[in-house]
Chains A and B, each alone.
Chain A
Amino acid sequence: MDGQIASPLEWMADAWHRLTGGELSLADAGSLPPEVRASLGEAPSAEPILAEAYDQWWWIVPMRRSHGGLLVARAQRDGPWKALVASWAGILDRLLEEQAVSSSLSEELLRAWDRLTFLFEILQSLGESRNLQDVLDKIAATLGYLFRARAVVLEVKVGDRAMCSASGAPVPSIPAAAHEQALAVGRPVVLDLPAEPGVSTARRLVLSPLRARSGLTGWIAFLDPPSESLDAGDLQLLGSLAEYVAVFLEAAHMRETRAEQARITRELEMAAEIQRSLLPSRLPQVEGLSVHAFLRPARLAGGDFYDVAWGKDGSPFILLADVSGKGMPAALLTAIVHTAFHELAPQHDNPAQLMNALNRALYQDLDRAHAFVTVALAHPRADGQAIAYTSSGHVQALLRRASGELDQVSAHGLPLGILADESYQSSQVALGPGDLLLLCSDGFIEVLNETGRPFGVGRLLDIMDIAYQAGPDELVQMLVAGVETYAAELPLADDLALILISGSPVSQPAHPVWPFVCPGQIGALRPVYAEALKWMFEHARSWAQRQEMEEFLFAVWEVMKNQVSHALQGEADLILGRLAITPDYFEAHLYDRGRAFSEPPLAGKAPTADSSVEGGYGFLIVKGILDDCHYERQAHGRNHWRLEKLRREG
């Protein structure tokens, strides 16, 4: 007898001997003399039974907690021992019960302890490890030690990375089908491997699948774990260990990813800081011109930037550049171009010569870095009457005359860093009042909408058409808003940079104008309508005028609805528009680059009680409200509407 009841039993035996001169012990029925055993009967009762044999009085009590166990107390003489024996049997029974509970508890505790130790060690390794492989190695080593298996192998796949770690003996190749089986079953499986030459013992493999929410998969293989630790409970333990391991590995992987992202972000922040510090603190003031600039890197640091440096003649060189690459390498290139530009500009008074000098100065560095730079360079004359312009492979400059006509600015050459002896040419541009010269990065033109269609030069011109009257500040804002609206939810893939040079005085519109950009979606019409109404009402002086404005916008609404449903047909494109309030009439210009209207637009037949004549109603409304409605399919696939309603309420 062991454990907790050993000493009470000794104490009882001692007391019993002194009371009765006999002996007391725990025994089973088989050890009793046949005469005594016979008196126990078929079903031993809980009551002490008295039997006489070999001149002794045998008190026998079956123990409830011990199968077939009996308390056997022999007395040398008869006596009133029944109650005593019964009560001692009860005590022993309770002790036995407590011992059973506590022994199973300690087993559980031991397992829990092992698990805790395991978790603790893994946690610690997570804290110390710099990467996922470290964690993997640590887990493999800990499992090997914990399970006393001949070998432990861990394999994980996360994303397109696959990693492996092993501890213990060399591992035989594990059939691929076994992995699949374990992964499919989702819990540990036991496999007996075929014997290999030179290996005497049969090999047993326990495969525990790993699976985590992030898509991490893999398995833990235990080779020849001790055979006693392979019952159902142990396999369950292995299964839950595998769950822990999967979670830990996932955490380690995420930590690693986060650390990498943080490093990239830090680098990008530094690069962005470099680039910001290189931007000119102010834009040049030139008589007869106004200069506006805009820059927004797509990520923290892109390759686009603008710069200003003064030439030999005291006039500014205005530069818009796009260096190849992104992030830190691009930022460093930016710094190199910036330095060369500021060093060389004071020696020149002609953009082509400056460009030649820049190319010569930068060629070697760029060539070594397999990089190139496109530059647009404008050099206004001191009196603002003319601008000399050149370009090294940069996006074509757009010159929009106040009249609305588009003029070519011919200047092109290879990007800097391509040919050491490239010779650049300048062209002269005269900017009259209201004329606009727009230098912009390819980010504006190449931005894609959901369907992958690029924004293109056409939409830039459309925006210049709707917004030029509102002034250069507003125009720059509209250009950016247009590109953003066009890309909708998509993140901009490229930087946005532009320089806008306007011939001044910028013609101030004689009357209020309101340019707007509207996504070409039915759901986008309401907010634009509400804003338009708000803007018009700001200029209303009476209730009657408000009603007139509301009627006018009702017609505009019907035309825009038509643009969305017939011209754009759900494509993520834009409607660009401009409203004007003149003393005599309200006016709207609406543009889109959707399909042409094959019939006269809003072609209506007299409505009948038929739901298919919605367009007919629209036509009647537009025709009834407006005094003039003109549609034109213009060059390069542009639809243009001009709507006019004469004002009757003064």
Chain B
Amino acid sequence: MELTIEHPRTDVILVKPQGRIDVETAPTLRDKLKELSQSTPTLIVVDMKGVEFIDSSGLAALVSGLKALREQGGSISLSRPHPQALTALRLTLLDRVFPIFSTVEDAIEQANPLLF
């Protein structure tokens, strides 16, 4: 899994993982999200477009990132998940925890959530 970080706005960080977020790579994502939460964004958008597979370890990484960010008053949104990721989010009810958007722009603007 590769991670690309962008700053589309001063208060938004866009994280683009590429590949599989599974038991092997989840710690990298978790650590990155925790590190990013120490800066002062109000929102991290994780763009799931390049994520071909996410397992329970990957989900746990997202949740622990969210927890760290919430302590700083921020939140995490997801954009463009594949059906597999959507299934994983749905089965674990995490689709109620993470706002999910069909475009990165919507996620940044927090407009038009996919599932709400």
Q: Is the CB of B67 within 8 A of A609?
A: yes
A525 contacts across to B, CB distance below 8 A = 23
* Of A522, A557, A565, A620, the contact of B92 (CB 8 Å cutoff): A620
Contact between B59 and A617, CB atoms less than 8 A apart = yes
Given contacts A558-B55, A609-B66, contact A620 B83 (CB under 8 A): no
B-side contacts of A613, CB under 8 Å: 60, 63
Are B22 and A526 in contact, with the CB atoms below 8 A?
yes
B67 to chain A, nearest CB (A): 5
B24, chain A: closest CB distance, angstroms: 6
Interface status of A554 (Cβ within 8 A of chain B)? yes
Q: When the two chains form their complex, are residues B91 and A620 in contact, meaning their CB atoms are under 8 A apart?
A: yes
Complex CA gap A525/B57 in Å reads 14
Among B57, B63, B83, the residue within 8 A (CB) of A561 is B57
CB within 8 Å for A557 and B55 given contacts A522-B23, A613-B60: yes
Flag A516-533 by CB within 8 Å of B: 1 or 0 each. Answer: 000000110110000000
- Interface flag for A284 (CB, 8 Å): no
Quote the shortest CB–CB distance from B71 to chain A (angstroms). 11
Instruction: Provide the residues of chain B in CB contact with A561, threshold 8 Å.
Output: 23, 55-57
Contact B23 A611 (CB under 8 A): no
Inter-chain contact A554/B94, CB cutoff 8 Å: no
Q: Which B residues touch A327, using CB under 8 A?
A: none
CA of A554 to CA of B85, assembled, Å? 11
Q: What's the minimum C-beta distance from B75 to chain A, rounded to whole angstroms?
A: 11
Asked if A620 contacts B64 (CB within 8 A), the reply is no
In the bound complex, do residue B87 and residue A618 qualify as a contact, i.e. CB atoms below 8 Å apart? no
* Nearest residue, chain B, Cβ from A523: B24
Interface flag for A610 (CB, 8 Å): yes
With A526-B20, A551-B87, A554-B88 as given contacts, are A609 and B56 in contact (CB-CB < 8 Å)?
no
B87→A607 contact, CB < 8 A: no
Q: A522-B24, A611-B63 are in contact. Are A625 and B91 (CB under 8 A)?
A: yes
Q: Which of B51-110 contact A (CB under 8 A)?
A: 53, 55-57, 59-61, 63-64, 66-67, 70, 83-84, 87-88, 90-94, 97
> Which chain B positions have C-beta within 8 A of A565?
23
Query: Which residues from chain A contact B88 at a C-beta distance below 8 Å?
Result: 554, 617, 621
User: 22 A–B contact pairs at CB < 8 A?
Assistant: A526-B20, A554-B87, A557-B22, A557-B55, A558-B55, A561-B23, A561-B56, A607-B93, A609-B63, A609-B66, A610-B63, A611-B30, A611-B60, A611-B63, A617-B60, A617-B88, A620-B92, A621-B55, A621-B56, A621-B88, A623-B91, A624-B92
